Structure 1
């Protein structure tokens, strides 16, 4: 058992773990490819995040792109009369997981560091924000969440068996790409939950070479189309602000004044395909309520003094408060519901499971006694004993040996060092405006909130980072009254820790199903976060030096949410008439968020129950689950409608493709795989083109601004 002393082989393996950085999983080529893919994801997330405030860690896309790029590398090259071997062996499934781990760690740094939210908000407070401060800030918040997640691997994956849908989907994707069965396939409950949340995970176990060739052809075409349209938009910006809605507007009325134009962004279409129809529809619903009802109403009633698109005095700035109320209300209520769920019935059930395992251990020991002993257990074990036996088998047989785990010395030491370095780095970045104890407390709170965030992510595939961040902001309104910077710093540190802890736990789920060493994934996450600092800071600095942030091309809407909440908490004032609307929408989405959390929890438990798995949910649960997501609704409200319309097109496209391929009873999974490939090409293509667009902008390339009025592309 685990209490036994490690044998010589284990001791030797543990020594190798600490003396050799590379092995057959974590190879130099896997790390190098992960860096390449991660850099592309970073620029994509910066581009999308600064435009609309919505990014993705792109675990599926990172796995797919890493595999695809590897296929372009020849095994050998002929130079003169000699042939030189480049690849000694094909890319392995476990190397592919390491590529995804490193890439997602690098690509998530724009959100972890706050480059799409907090950094622009701090820049609004200090327009002379220097590069050294940005480097220090990013370094200070880049690592703590990694150490928060490692101790959660065993309770979340091995004891509670949480599905972590994106991690499960990524494992099934790499299994498909390499035509290799998973070491630990998903359980029935995990599989069902994953299907609901991702809509694209029931992947085939095998794939013909023709299917693979078709996928690569589609990927190249979708990526090329997205790149081309984006580059053309830098020369002809009106392409991204087509005034189609003016054709149906009343005479003399321009709907572009209210943000109603069409942006044919393939990246947004790809994002909509990934989000699904429900989320993208909720975003459009928020855009309709905000930009077709609330903003015109505020303008007509003279509650605003500026133009509708003005983020300070116009309708946009007025509606930001309403969207803030929606996000805060639903996030806080959902977190409270999660706390009650985690500390109540789930905890009792977990304790009963432990009792059954203890009882079964006793039964096993008694079974070793002679048959005549009266303590000998019955020949037919009870159902509870069978379940407990299954639990023990899963925990002991599925878990990794000690030499492949992350030692507690690394976890404890990392927590201490990262917290101390983080406090010092944040002090160097923002100055003496926040005391050291307050920054240290923010790191401690981040570790506690990360547990809640990771558990929510494991069940629902949604990481409530915005919710835990806003709770920290509310708390620091009491601890540091009147200190706006301290408020921003506390919320940012909490969001960073929850985001990174959740990202690593998704990776752990993938590695668990594939059979990759958690120690290698931990090191890959550390390395990726370290390298991601450079890519994120350089990318953000390039955007900030080329464009005004926040500005017309990159409004960075999340930054306005951050700073508005901080100012409100610290004795700020609200625009005219907005408090009534904040209360109304806050109550509506608070109640709906509570009902949705309860219905979601009941639905997941039902699916995990063998007895009630096929039982349809009650009507009230169906209504609660169908009510608009507050986060998606608020995102659609704070962005101009063009962002949401393109995503709805993507969601509709994915729904139509999914419905059509379900009619093909032979292999609907191939069509699902095709949706993932198309969406990946669309999203990554525009991200790749954005880097070229920065260079075009800095070379003063002639731009045709004919027809541009309010929301043209990046070249105008």
Structure 2
């Protein structure tokens, strides 16, 4: 049922070549340090990496597109060099690679759903094209709303500090300047923590299941270190809700947990749009809550006491 309506191979190959040609011509005009032959090399190697990402995502439901993007940062950044704008070239190459690799895994996940529901792959593909065309208009508009509502977007200490931007920029600098730009003992710490993460995973996979659930997952520990506090708190609260739910009704928690989590994530994401609109209208919240250190809180109390006198 699913295979009888498959997409012709010539269409897939021809479409990929056409997109590569357009990208090779247009991207160097947008990002001057990104030479045309960098883009050609990316599109030559991307299919193999896209296959790996789609295969792994199908098995684990976890896309590693950002990992392949980091690979492009290091390779293209080092190839361009510092004098030729290697940082910008590496970041642009990362965007190109991530778009190719992530699209492959996203399409594969959708086709997997179509296979299970006996849907037509052609109709799904056409829907993807329509959705992508809509995104080309909607995404810039949403970004414009954010950019207009929050002038300090991306700056440290702002409401939206864009932590990934800092991480990826530093990766690009590292790719251009080499390991010599790292602080003292940084590599030694990286090696030690890498070995500790591997050892922890080995222990978790080898000990009996009743003990394995008490062994922490290194990736889960690492994620809160490079995402802002609200996301880390949301993940912690969500995990606590799921833990309590599993203790009360494990069957329902396993069945409906992903759906509830998806709803919570979707709801929070949707709220950011009206929040930006309210910020554009200069509407301030009725109350403000802050968490201060004990020393700072004492200073605030002393200052308020002087005002009351």
The answer to whether TM tops 0.5 is yes
Aligned residue in 2 for 1:556: 162
Shift of 1:550: 0.7
Residues 164 and 227 of structure 2 are in contact (CA less than 8 Å); yes or no, is this contact kept in structure 1?
Answer: no
Structure 1 pair 706/687, CA: closer, same or farther in 2 (3 Å)? Answer: closer
Which residue of 181, 185, 207 corresponds with 1:580? 185
Superposed displacement of residue 507, structure 1 = 0.9
Question: Which runs of 5 or more residues in structure 2 are unaligned?
Answer: 293-309
Q: TM-score, normalised by structure 1?
A: 0.37
Deviates more, 1:651-660 or 1:498-507: 651-660
- What whole-Å deviation, never above 9, does each CA across 1:381-400 have from its counterpart, x for those lacking one? xxxxxxxxxxxxxxxxx761
CA contact (8 A) 1:445 1:494 kept: no
Distance 1:421 1:594 in 2: 46
Structure 2 vs 1, CA of residues 484 and 677 (structure 1 numbering), >3 Å: closer, same or farther? closer
CA contact (8 A) 2:111 2:121 kept: yes
Q: Shift of residue 702 of structure 1?
A: 3.9
Could you tell me which of 398, 406, 410 is aligned with 2:7?
Answer: 406
Counterpart in the other structure of 2:42: 442
Higher helix share: 2
Cα distance in 1 for partners of 2:207, 2:127 equals 46
What is the CA deviation profile of residues 247-303 of structure 1, one whole-angstrom value per residue up to 9, with x for unaligned ones? xxxxxxxxxxxxxxxxxxxxxxxxxxxxxxxxxxxxxxxxxxxxxxxxxxxxxxxxx
Q: 1:655 aligns with which of 238, 243, 263?
A: 243
Q: How many Å separate the matches in 2 of 1:441 and 1:419?
A: 10
1:568 to 158, 174, 196: 174
Determine if the alignment matches structure 1 residue 683 to structure 2 residue 283: no
Which of 589, 604, 616 in structure 1 is aligned with 2:194?
589
Question: Where do 1:176-191 residues align within 5 Å?
Answer: none
The corresponding residue for 2:302 is none
Q: Partners of 2:102 and 2:216 in 1: how far apart?
A: 25
Query: For the residues of structure 2 that align with 1:520 and 1:561, how far apart are their CA atoms?
Result: 39
Contact 1:549–1:555 under 8 Å retained in 2:
yes
Q: Which residue of 2 aligns with 1:116?
A: none
Of 82, 95, 103, 1:492 maps to: 95
Of the two, which has the highest radius of gyration? 1
| 2: CA distance, partners of 1:690 / 1:599 | 41
**Residue 539 (structure 1) shift:** 0.9
Q: Among 221, 238, 246, which residue is 1:633 paired with? A: 221
**CA 683–637 in structure 1, closer or farther in 2 if over 3 Å, else same:** same
Q: Check if 1:474 corresponds to 2:74.
A: yes
Change in 2 beyond 3 A, CA 1:629/1:444: farther
Q: Distance in 1 between matches of 2:192 and 2:113?
A: 38
CA distance in 2, matches of 1:438, 1:408: 26
Say which structure, 1 or 2, has more relative contact order (CA 8 Å, 6+ apart): 1
Q: Find out whether 1:521 has 2:124 as its counterpart.
A: yes
- Cα deviation 1:100-123 (Å, max 9, x = unaligned): xxxxxxxxxxxxxxxxxxxxxxxx
Tell me which residue corresponds to 1:535.
138
Cα distance change on mapping 1:530 and 1:460 into 2, 3 Å: same
Q: Deviations over 1:330-388 (max 9, x none)?
A: xxxxxxxxxxxxxxxxxxxxxxxxxxxxxxxxxxxxxxxxxxxxxxxxxxxxxxxxxxx
Rounded to whole Å, the distance in 1 between the matches of 2:12 and 2:195 is 37
- In the superposition, the TM-score normalised over structure 2's length comes to 0.80
- Alignment of structure 1 residues 58-457 onto 2, 5 Å: 400-401=3-4, 404-430=5-31, 432-457=32-57
Closer, same or farther: CA 624–657 of 1 in aligned 2, 3 Å: closer
Structure 2 distance, partners of 1:677, 1:451, is 28
**Cα distance in structure 2, aligned partners of 1:413 and 1:422:** 14
* 1:507 lines up with 2:95 in the alignment: no
What displacement does 1:593 show? Answer: 4.4
What is the RMSD of the two structures over their aligned residues, measured on CA atoms? 3.0
Contiguous gaps of at least 5 residues in structure 1: 1-397, 601-616, 663-667, 711-716
User: How many aligned positions are there?
Assistant: 284
Displacement of 1:686:
2.6
Aligned counterparts of 1:480 and 1:465: Cα–Cα separation in 2? 22
Distance in 1, matches of 2:196 and 2:3, equals 43
**Pair 1:627–1:583, CA change in 2 (3 A):** farther
Alpha-carbon distance, 1:564 to partner: 0.5
- Separation in 1 of the partners of 2:50 and 2:276? 36
